[in-house]
Amino acid sequence: MSKPLTTLDLLLWRRFRREVPGLVEETLRRTPGLARQGAFLPVGLSVKVAVPDPEPKGRSAVPVVKLYD
């Protein structure tokens, strides 16, 4: 059985379920030596992640385009 491969941006996506501009860079700044780990994070590695602000309230939903009914 192979070990799961997780990248930093995938880890952040799984945690917040949205794209947060600058969060990858902020996480790299908060966790010294994280960039030296390579593209895939080893299992059990501690990562310090900033909690982003909630999504702006003024943002409206994007209408869904249906190609087929």
pTM of the model: 0.71
Parent domain of 17: 8-37
Total domains in the fold of the chain:
1
Model pLDDT, residue 28: 95
Residue 49 located in a structural domain: no
Residue 3 located in a structural domain: no
Residue 22 located in a structural domain: yes
Separation between Cα atoms, residue 9 and residue 68, nearest integer Å: 32
Residues 6+ apart with CB under 8 A from 38: none
Residue 26 located in a structural domain: yes
Model pLDDT, residue 4: 75
Using CA atoms, how far residue 8 sits from 15, 60, 62, in Å, is 11, 28, 27
Residue 58 located in a structural domain: no
Residue 1 located in a structural domain: no
Residue 43 located in a structural domain: no
Per-residue pLDDT of the chain (69 residues), as tens digits, is: 667 789 999 999 999 988 888 999 999 999 999 999 999 999 889 999 988 877 666 566 678 888 886
